[in-house]
Amino acid sequence: MTLDNGAQTTSTNAYFFRDFNGAQNHKVDAATMPGTSLGYTVCYNRIACHGPDGIAATPGSSYTADSNRADSENNPAGVHWVDLWWVYKPLTPNCTSINASASVLIGDEIKISAVYSNASADLTQAKMFVHPNNCSSPQDLGAYTAGPTFTFDWTPSATGTYTAYCQAIAASANCVGDCADVPPQFSCDGSDGAGAGTKTTITVSNPGPWYKLKNASFHKFGNIDSVVSQTVVAVDSDDSTVRNIIIGNSGVSSTTGNYSTGPSYNPIKLSSNNWNTTGYAFSEFYLSNFIDYIRSRKESTTITADSLDQIADSSINEISGDLTLNSGSLSGVTGNNFVLLVTGNVRIDGNFNNPITKTLAIYATGTITFSDTTQNANGIFIGNQIVIEGKTPAGTDTFGLKIKGNAVSRRAYENNRNLTVNSKPAFFVVVDPDQYLSLLPLLSISKYEQR
């Protein structure tokens, strides 16, 4: 530091000049340093005006002290003085405008981008880091040497809350959006000089259970809100890795509510043609009506739950009371095509009609429940409600439920099947038109017009 063009010189810190004419103005010069910016803050007869870390520093390497201010400011008494601070700041690059999805499914690859600048220092590298709120072990997503906007790929392998932050590197110094260490590493200025846009929070979660259909139209009570991971796995040869709710020969998808599929960065498609309608309701010709129609227009036989061997071919059979079916329930049945009308609830324990040995339709005025041990059930299942059981605790099921035929629930169906890995659907329905055709004489209704 020099006073009055070399009248006094010092290289110590803290520095001072004394024993000069206080009635005159005096000029102080500071030497510049390579790779830094230089500015100053000044106080007259006090020290409390200096900003933290030189944020309020005025750029420059020279300052002329005003003797009049020294005499008058802050009510001085006795010795007057000027407190002049020189602020050297490394020339750092900057990064800002970091952008990433706030919610991510485990195993999904997402893009994280930021804008890097070299306004203050020549940018040599742009980097991005992610850490689970632990600065001691950030994950390095790589580095780039061209810009200004860079995009990085990240695939989370565990659930939790993470912080993504950018790092801008120059030869003189570097800055980070989070986890700043010691010089020459500093916190990035961001868009506001205080770090805005240099880091963001990302929440990683497991995908929930979802449903899939093949060769179907689809109507759902409430919203269609499946959130499905980017990579899906086929259930079996009837399925594929196509990431749609309806695959194969898809028809119209409708809902009484709205569509809100996810995740936000790549929502699952409804179908290849995406035919859909919202807020849709239709008039019903349903269970009680159909049973009344059967009794008045078709022939039916009343049987009991323990006499299924009485079921004949091409027959309609009525059962009053609840019914439980399992893999051996049809072993004594000689009929191949038949309908069961159950006034009550139906429970399917384990696999049922698998492989397909009978073409059947089950109508239940109550609930049709599939146990947590049921992996395959074949037939046309129509009930007041369909319930799919799952294991406890949730998320421990190792297989979903597949139905080949169709499933129709008058009320919103209840799915409690939650797989350990939800890349497969928890509920998969393959609509089989051949089963409908085989049962057409039994399931169809006739309209009569009297002239």
**pLDDT score recorded for residue 221:** 86
Out of 73-77, 162-166, 213-217, pick the least confident: 73-77
Q: pLDDT grade, residue 410 (50/70/90)?
A: confident
Q: Which residue has the higher pLDDT, 224 or 445?
A: 224
Residue 406, beta-bridge partner list: 380
- Burial of 173-201, coded b for 16+ CB within 10 Å and e otherwise, reads bbbbbbbbeeeebbbbbbeeeebebbbbe
Does 449 reside within a domain? no
| Domain match, 125 and 263 both | no
Q: Flag the least confident range among 96-100, 161-165, 193-197, 291-295.
A: 291-295
Task: State the average pLDDT over residues 416-442.
Answer: 94
Q: What are phi and psi of 72, to 5 degrees?
A: -115, -30
Higher pLDDT, 449 or 42: 42
Assess whether 189 and 230 both reside in one domain. no
50 and 172, same structural domain?
no
Question: Looking at per-residue confidence, does 96 or 289 come out higher?
Answer: 96
Q: Supply the pTM of this predicted model.
A: 0.77
Query: Are 295 and 424 members of one domain?
Result: yes
Question: Over the chain, what is the mean pLDDT?
Answer: 90
Range of the domain at 62: 2-89
How many distinct structural domains can be found in the chain? Answer: 3
- Average of pLDDT values for 18-44? 88
Do 312 and 372 lie in a common domain? yes
- Cis-peptide, bond into residue 76, ω within 30° of zero: no
Residue 228 domain-assigned (yes or no): yes
Task: Point out the domain boundary residue: 54, 89, 124.
Answer: 89
pLDDT band at 160, cuts 50/70/90? Answer: very high
Give residue-wise pLDDT tens across range 302-318.
999 999 999 999 999 99
The rounded distance, in Å, linking the Cα atoms of 22 and 352 is 103
Work out the percent of the chain whose per-residue pLDDT is above 90.
66
How far apart are the C-alpha atoms of 273 and 275, rounded to whole Å? 6
Residue 85 and residue 176 in one domain:
no
- Is 75 contained in some domain? yes
pLDDT at residue 389, rounded to an integer: 98
d(CA 323, CA 365): 12
Q: In this model, does residue 120 exceed pLDDT 80? A: no
Give 291-341 as a DSSP string. Answer: HHHHHHHS--EEE-TT-GGGPPTTEEEEEES-EEE-TTTTTT---SEEEEE
CA of 226: how far to CAs of 140, 203, 207, 220, in Å?
32, 18, 9, 12
Say if residue 115 is in the same domain as residue 58.
no
Q: Is 291 in the same domain as 418?
A: yes
Can you tell me the distance from the alpha carbon of 162 to that of 129, in angstroms, rounded to the nearest whole number? 10
Q: Do residues 438 and 305 both lie within one domain?
A: yes
Contact 404, 378 (CB under 8 A): yes
Ramachandran bin of 74, using left for φ above 0, alpha for ψ from -120 to 50, beta for the remaining angles? left
The confidence band for 119, taking pLDDT boundaries of 50, 70 and 90, is low
Question: Of 382, 384, 345, whose CA–CA distance to 362 is shortest?
Answer: 382
Is residue 395, in this structure, part of any structural domain at all? yes
Task: Looking at the structure, tell me whether residues 159 and 260 fall in a common domain.
Answer: no
Q: Is the pLDDT of residue 372 over 70?
A: yes
Q: Is residue 54 pLDDT above 60, yes or no?
A: no
Q: Is residue 234 part of a domain?
A: yes
Residues 201 and 230 occupy one common structural domain: no
What does the alpha-carbon distance between residue 181 and residue 201 come to, in Å, rounded to a whole number?
20
Q: Is residue 448 included in any domain, yes or no?
A: no
Domain boundary among 153, 172, 205: 205
Domain-located, residue 263: yes
Same domain, 252 and 159: no
In a domain, 243, yes or no: yes
- The CA distance from 145 to 143, in Å, is 7
Of 55, 89, 123, at which residue does a domain stop? 89
